[in-house]
Structure 1
Amino acid sequence: MTAEGKILPIVIHGDPVLHNRASEVEEINDDIRQLVADMHVTQEAARGVGLAAPQVGAGLRIFTWEFEHTGDAPTKGEVLNPVLTLLGKVSQEDPDPDSETEGCLSVPALGYPLKRSAHVRLQGFDVDGKLIDFEAHDWFARILQHEFDHLNATLYVNRLNPRWSKRWKKELRKQGWTTAGNTWMPGDDEDPFGHDAEAANEAEES
């Protein structure tokens, strides 16, 4: 029986759960199934393309995704105890702000450019214990790297080059995201990435 999910608050940068390596899932039980269901619902409510368990306060090696792409990999799913292998090199060139800017639900309303591998392999298990093993390319590969990083206590802002890292640290001080306790609630709080405004404009135009 599939658990019915509920929306969970998303933890913002500064909380220790985001800065400690997540633990392996030892057993797929009802608590794990409920967490995965909640993560899918929360990700959808937040209009995200990926969500890692630490982002909802659970220090476990799980992440979800939903992204339309070309290829044989599922466009929506979850992975437990993932192994991610980079199959393409990460360029040392400066990232392009127009085509390589990432965002993060735990760093709301901000975005910074970052170089990633354009080709990865993901292995692990889904919530039913079935083996996952597929390759991903381009932006889908970026999403998987971003979420996998969360499980190893790395946010994408920790990978920025010196130029963009300087801008991020200035914003970090401004926002005060250095301590625990900051969250936002998808569906209740205003969408920090502007999706609510976009939806309202589309409604007016129609």
Structure 2
Amino acid sequence: MSVLPIVTYNDPILKKETEPISENSEELQSLIDDMFETMYKASGVGLAAPQIGKSIQLFVMDADAITEEMEGEPDIGPVTLINPKIVKKSNETVKMEEGCLSIPDVRDDVSRPESITVKFRDRDLNEQTMDATGWIARVIQHEIDHLQGVLFLDYLSAFKRRLHKSTLKKIDKGKLETEYPLADKS
């Protein structure tokens, strides 16, 4: 397994819609393993393929680090979601602070549906359906956004984005230090 460099803010791949995955392969399985390794190295709870430079409908997540500390939130362990699609959303929304490995040092409040139902294929390409609430629902929605070329910054007002402008400039110029490898900005 390898730790992969993470693509950061203003890279065009982060704003691009991804392609579905139609077949399993050794390369796919190796990529999934590398994505988990990368996510854990970066202390993240989710990582989408565009964040490591791949324009495919794949993300990995393990929100147990967050849910362990939250009463009533289940631990579900590491999960691979291929070709995910949200098929149901609750009308109730919750505003919570989010961050992103591709936008280090930037955090802000985002409103999202409290609960969702998502259909996807697991790492063996078997069809699955999952009902999710709370943090797990939030992580899934955040990562599916990545697969659609949407960043959590896109939910912020112009005023809120301006508040993060200096940090975003540092990220864009490759001048921000992180505990995990970032993709070269050149």
Aligned-residue Cα RMSD (Å) equals 2.7
Look up the match of 1:149.
Answer: 145
Equivalent AA in structure 2 for residue 169 of structure 1: R
**Residue correspondences, number:** 176
* Aligned-partner Cα distance in 2 for 1:170–1:155: 16
Contact 2:6–2:101 (CA under 8 A) maintained in structure 1: yes
Look up the match of 2:85.
Answer: 83
Contact 2:73–2:134 (CA under 8 A) maintained in structure 1: no
Deviation of 1:45 after TM superposition, in Å, equals 0.4
Look up the match of 1:166.
Answer: 159
CA distance 1:124–1:113, change in 2 (3 Å): same
Q: Deviations over 1:70-112 (max 9, x none)?
A: 5778321111111113431254x9x4xxxx1100111101100
CA distance 1:114–1:7, change in 2 (3 Å): same
1:20 to 2:13 alignment:
no
Equivalent AA in structure 1 for residue 150 of structure 2: T
Matches within 5 A, 1:44-59: 44-59=40-55
Structure 1 residue ranges without an equivalent (≥5)? 190-206
SS at match of 1:74: coil
CA distance 1:127–1:179, change in 2 (3 Å): same
* Aligned-partner Cα distance in 1 for 2:50–2:177: 14
* Aligned-partner Cα distance in 2 for 1:150–1:157: 11
* Aligned-partner Cα distance in 2 for 1:130–1:184: 39
CA distance 1:22–1:86, change in 2 (3 Å): same
* Aligned-partner Cα distance in 1 for 2:27–2:107: 33
Contact 1:62–1:79 (CA under 8 A) maintained in structure 2: yes
Contact 1:11–1:183 (CA under 8 A) maintained in structure 2: no
* Aligned-partner Cα distance in 2 for 1:143–1:16: 22
SS at match of 1:13: coil
Match of 2:76 among 63, 74, 77: 74
Contact 1:83–1:123 (CA under 8 A) maintained in structure 2: yes
Deviation of 1:122 after TM superposition, in Å, equals 1.6
Q: Which has the larger radius of gyration?
A: 1
Q: TM-score, normalised by structure 2?
A: 0.83
Give the % identical residues. 27
* Aligned-partner Cα distance in 2 for 1:186–1:125: 31
Q: TM-score, normalised by structure 1?
A: 0.75
